[in-house]
Amino acid sequence: MKPDKTSRFPALVSFVAAAVLTAVAVLPARAQYFGQNKVQYDRFDFKIMKTEHFDIYFYGEDKAVVEMAARMAERWYARLSRILRHELRKHQPLILYTSHPHFEQTTTVQETLTEGTGGFTEVFKRRIVLPYGGTLAETDHVIGHELVHAFQYDITAQMGSGLTAGLPNALRLPLWFIEGMAEYLSIGPVDGHTAMWMRDAVKQKKMPTVKQLQNSYRYFPYRYGQALWAYICGRWGDLVISRIMKDAGRAGDYEKSMEKILGISLKQLSADWHASLERDFSPVFASTRTAASYGPQVVKGSEEVGLNVSPSLSPDGTRFVFLSSKDLFSIEMFVTDTKTGKMTEKITRTALNPEFQSLQFIYSSGSWKPSGDEFVFGAVGKGKPLLALLDTKTFKVKRQIVIPELGEILNPTWSPDGKSIAFSALAGGVTDLFVYDLETDKWRRLTDDVFGDIHPVWSPDGRWIAFVTERFNTHLPTLSLGAYQLALIDPETGEVRRVETFPYADSLNPQWSPDSKTLFFVSDRNGIRNIYRHDLDTGRLAQVTNLQTGVSGISSVSPALTVAGGTGQVAYSVYDGGNYSIYAIDSPDILNGAEPAELSAKASPAALPPLERQGSELLGLIRNPLFGLPEEESFPVSAYSSKLRLDYVSQPQMAMGADRFGTYIGGGLAFYWSDMLGYQNLATMFQVNNRLIDSAVLLGYMNSASRWNWGAVLQRIPYVYGSYGYGYGSLDGEPVYYEEEYLFRQINYDLSAFISYPFNRVQRFEVTGGLSYIDYDAEINTLVYSLYDNYLLAREREKLESPDSLAYGYVAAAVVYDSSIYGATGPLIGQSYRLEVSPRIGNLTFSQVLADYRKYVMPVRPFTLAFRFLHFGRYGRGAEDERLWPLYIGYESLLRGYDYYSFSSDSSAEAFDMNRLFGSRVAIANMELRFPLFGLLGLGKGYYGIFPIEAYAFYDVGVAWDETNQAWFLGGDRKPMSSVGAGLRANLFGYLILGVHYVHPFQRTDRNWYFQLSLSPAF
């Protein structure tokens, strides 16, 4: 029985309108809209090698190389299980790629990998994924480092119930704790590279406390974490690391665990650690010198530009090319005047230009042609290694030589006649020497073995190529990996000769004197990397520098030394003051060198304090190549089968509520599957509500096995919009008060397939097609109460007339380009665009057209000017159908100052016609000036300073129109609306972009300036 309704408040209609406005955004989700591509340039035929503890996934024909990696992995398993007192619960997957460009194509994770990622251990399937290193020692170290992470995840895995067991608590521990432990357990307490960092920090009086190490941006967790673990294990013994790991893994609180097990406070631990470092490094400072005492500092490192490495002097010594972080967004190549240090040219722009995927900046440097008119460097483009030849007058690329048979090309060097280029290259997981003939366009191999051969340099007389090799000190049957040594190879006959330097110390980075009689090189003979010289005729060894920190590139095997081929000048990179700087030496007396210096008997520069250690079990295990090493054998190999296995089950979501109309219960759960290599990915989502009609289901599949990425999605998604109304009336003559709940449903059923082809890192072509069915439902639930005693007299549910269903097929084709580089809150530089057409045919026929162009420029650092032009519209005879929600431009992400909820219910109709915000076609233009607030004020390090807060000023303009109400440029009366304002937006620890701006909408008379909240990143 229905009451006679004498009044109904207008809130009902208003609320429904608001729900309509927020129902459909103009733009799709950004993750599907823009974004750079992860391109699968190659297809790999993976096989599986099974050992006692590992399933090793590999491709390629050289089984012997894989078996060496397998034996290394088993040896590391034995070492780590002994130290950590733990056995892994399952066979450990280890996925190997034969080069870093191949590794960057991995589908095991969706994230884009850069040259700086040497490997990773993925958390869901606990997969270790890595490329072979340039040498056996590098490969061995990375396997050990990543296996530590597998142990950490296994030890700290939460033993939850069923499929919803939580992620390992290791993810809650600070990076210094996790990464520092992995470095310590895979290298040990003797590491000249980390010791160099610590000596510098002690010298600068900038040693952090244990708690300060949580700032991983300021204190590199690998180096500082390794040093702290070396101190802890040196004082309490190596086995304490297992106790701390297990206790912190259970509690997730490393501070309490360390204080409980070590028996001292973190404050006292910090003080003791600092005292040990100062005590043990003091003798080193007393008997060494600064780099400035040997020659001028040409390029100074700073907090803003901390990386200046891999110098390469021109033949006349007037200029040098080097790699630097001077560019805010990437490591780039620059040219500098040797005398003034002034940078004269920026050669590369890899951040914005997809031509070069990588400059090989960690392990490689370039080389000048002896005539000085060309420069060559190794790079990666479109997934393939190449030699890039530059004209040194313009520093433009004049030729690219792609060698697809190889994996990476490193440290190219010219022959004296300029007709050939020698280089080291990773091929099939091992690094050998090659020569490319520029006249015949053919290449040949100089070495062909499993030993790492790196840092080649051609002698000025053309007789020899000097290089660094593992062959002399490595014993393959026991995989005993010795020090790097110098060698000479005849480029014609392939004859190899050893250069006698220091048999038990690394000798790296050889460089010839102009007369081809002397080799300059870098060695850590006394624990510090210094420049030495070797006279080939006499055998004389002399020391050129005796530094407090050391000659160094980014890694311990990075090139850091260069000699001018015509003048004999020397330039080298040094780590000091927490940064990498470049120094020069041109004094003949200094370059002649002196008898190799002996440090104080109390000095051990490469050892991480304390020098007197409480036991040395880890060091003993690392120095024993036989412990845990399997016999040389042929491990069984099988073909890879792509089987889906459950990766992860989301935490169940539950919600309950109640009101006068009843109790509401809802919940959801998601399941994610993939195969071991990530070629196939399946996601399912279920969300159940109080009524089955309001439940959502999604099933999505994606195949990434090739360059063509494709998949399909089946979904049922209900959109439920509700509002409340109330009023007074009568029922059977009795005065009543009634409440109404209005529910409107749009239920979308969609079956679609998609395919995407990336042209390169920044551009792709997408096609989507499918069938869509949209059903509508509307109802009113009414409660009727007596005005006499508030007694519930009636409860009714009334079905309302709803629009006819929609059914149509659709196809969408889009070209997408995105070279933009993101900061913490939005893009900083680059450009992006999306051009899309989507015809739809069914009981409604229309087409959607989208054009979205964005440009970001940085005229003066750190200010970004951002521009956007967007047009989105529906065209065709069905474009104006009332069943399609109108497009709305008042979202704060489009046209600020016109959001729906800023209009009050008592606003006069004359103040602003809200219909101007709706249409079937829209056009938006935005301009912003952005800058990092704290970074500009100098508060803290880095671009953003102490916290990622961005200040911005903006101007927005937009117009919406349809066939009835045309835009002014089409002869209609719909004129643009605009606004101006300024605001702040912040990245809240990666979880949310929160902003607030003060905006003035010019076309509104009911509002002047007002504050508006923002929850979206900058456009």
Return the exposure string of 651-677: e unless at least 16 CB atoms fall within 10 Å of the residue's CB, then b: eeeeeeeeeebeeeebebbbebbbbbb
Hey, which bits of 459-529 come out as E strands? 465-469, 485-489, 496-499, 507-512, 518-523
pLDDT score at 571 = 98
Q: Is 532 part of any domain? A: yes
pLDDT score at 883 = 87
Work out whether strand 92-97 and strand 128-131 pair parallel, antiparallel, or are unpaired. parallel
Separation of alpha carbons 51 and 75, rounded Å: 11
**Does 30 have pLDDT greater than 80?**
no
Query: Do 117 and 142 share a domain, yes or no?
Result: yes
CA proximity to 313, closest of 587, 569, 515, 510: 569
Work out whether strand 518-523 and strand 507-512 pair parallel, antiparallel, or are unpaired. antiparallel
- Its sign, for the CA torsion 130, 131, 133, 139, is positive
Q: Is 301 part of any domain? A: yes
CA proximity to 159, closest of 269, 245, 249: 249
Q: Tell me which of 572, 592, 612 is where a domain ends.
A: 592
pLDDT score at 228 = 98
pLDDT score at 353 = 76
Write the pLDDT tens digit of every residue in 695-730.
899 999 999 999 999 999 999 999 888 888 888 888
pLDDT score at 601 = 58
Return the structure tokens found at 364: 């490689």
Q: What percent of the chain has pLDDT over 70?
A: 93
Query: Do 148 and 180 share a domain, yes or no?
Result: no
Separation of alpha carbons 163 and 239, rounded Å: 33
Contact 541, 525 (CB under 8 A): no
Kindly report the CATH number assigned to the domain that includes residue 329.
Answer: 2.120.10.30
Separation of alpha carbons 683 and 698, rounded Å: 8
Between helix 266-286 and helix 192-203 the angle, nearest 10°, is: 100
How far does CA 705 lie from the centroid of its chain? 21
Residue bearing tokens 């080298």: 572
Query: Do 572 and 607 share a domain, yes or no?
Result: no
* Predicted confidence band of residue 550 (pLDDT cuts 50, 70, 90): very high
**Does 480 have pLDDT greater than 80?**
yes
Neighbours of 32 (CB within 10 A): 11
pLDDT score at 329 = 84
pLDDT score at 705 = 94
Q: Is 869 part of any domain? A: no
**Does 789 have pLDDT greater than 50?**
yes
Which SS3 state, helix, strand or coil, does residue 702 take? strand
Q: Tell me which of 569, 592, 615 is where a domain ends.
A: 592
Query: Do 395 and 539 share a domain, yes or no?
Result: yes
Write the pLDDT tens digit of every residue in 553-611.
999 999 999 999 999 999 999 999 999 999 999 999 999 999 998 876 566 899 999 99
Q: Is 347 part of any domain? A: yes
Query: Do 311 and 444 share a domain, yes or no?
Result: yes
**Does 15 have pLDDT greater than 70?**
no
Helix (H) / strand (E) element for 272: namely: helix 266-286
Return the structure tokens found at 792: 């519930």
Q: What is the mean pLDDT of the chain?
A: 91
**Does 536 have pLDDT greater than 80?**
yes
**Does 529 have pLDDT greater than 90?**
yes
Query: Do 379 and 524 share a domain, yes or no?
Result: yes
Return the structure tokens found at 889: 């431009």
pLDDT score at 905 = 60
Which SS3 state, helix, strand or coil, does residue 316 take? coil
Residue bearing tokens 């010795």: 482
CA proximity to 935, closest of 926, 944, 924: 944
**Does 443 have pLDDT greater than 90?**
yes
Separation of alpha carbons 643 and 211, rounded Å: 44
Q: Is 56 part of any domain? A: yes
pLDDT score at 27 = 33
pLDDT score at 656 = 54
**Does 9 have pLDDT greater than 60?**
no
* Predicted confidence band of residue 664 (pLDDT cuts 50, 70, 90): low
Compute the average pLDDT of residues 819-848: 95
Query: Do 533 and 412 share a domain, yes or no?
Result: yes
Return the structure tokens found at 129: 């994924």
pTM above 0.75, yes or no: yes
Query: Do 66 and 139 share a domain, yes or no?
Result: yes
Separation of alpha carbons 653 and 671, rounded Å: 13
Q: Tell me which of 131, 155, 179 is where a domain ends.
A: 155
Residue bearing tokens 């040949």: 444
Residue bearing tokens 């309950």: 656
Query: Do 345 and 467 share a domain, yes or no?
Result: yes
**Does 909 have pLDDT greater than 60?**
no
CA distances to 133, 136, 178, 346, 401 from 150, in Å: 20, 21, 11, 41, 40
Between helix 175-187 and helix 240-251 the angle, nearest 10°, is: 150
Q: Report the length, in residues, of the chain.
A: 1019
Query: Do 467 and 528 share a domain, yes or no?
Result: yes
* Residue 321 per-residue DSSP state: E
Quote the domain boundaries for residue 614: 170-287+599-623
Neighbours of 706 (CB within 10 A): 13
Compute the average pLDDT of residues 989-995: 89
Separation of alpha carbons 862 and 950, rounded Å: 11
Compute the average pLDDT of residues 824-829: 94
Separation of alpha carbons 253 and 265, rounded Å: 14
> First vs last Cα of the chain: how many Å apart?
54
Cα radius of gyration rounded to whole Å, the chain: 33
Q: Is 658 part of any domain? A: no
* Predicted confidence band of residue 355 (pLDDT cuts 50, 70, 90): confident
Residue bearing tokens 């680059």: 830
Query: Do 397 and 256 share a domain, yes or no?
Result: no
Q: How many domains does the chain have?
A: 3
Separation of alpha carbons 432 and 468, rounded Å: 11
**Does 231 have pLDDT greater than 90?**
yes
Query: Do 99 and 190 share a domain, yes or no?
Result: no
pLDDT score at 2 = 59
Work out whether strand 863-875 and strand 821-822 pair parallel, antiparallel, or are unpaired. unpaired
Phi, psi of 944, deg, nearest 5: -95, -10
Residue bearing tokens 């051609």: 458
pLDDT score at 125 = 94
Contact 672, 679 (CB under 8 A): no
* Predicted confidence band of residue 876 (pLDDT cuts 50, 70, 90): very high
Q: Is 850 part of any domain? A: no
* Predicted confidence band of residue 904 (pLDDT cuts 50, 70, 90): confident
- Cβ burial of 261 (10 Å; 0-12, 13-18, 19+) is middle
Separation of alpha carbons 393 and 810, rounded Å: 54
**Does 139 have pLDDT greater than 50?**
yes
Contact 672, 648 (CB under 8 A): yes
* 367-368 β-sheet, strand order: 367-368, 374-381, 384-391, 396-402
Q: Is 242 part of any domain? A: yes
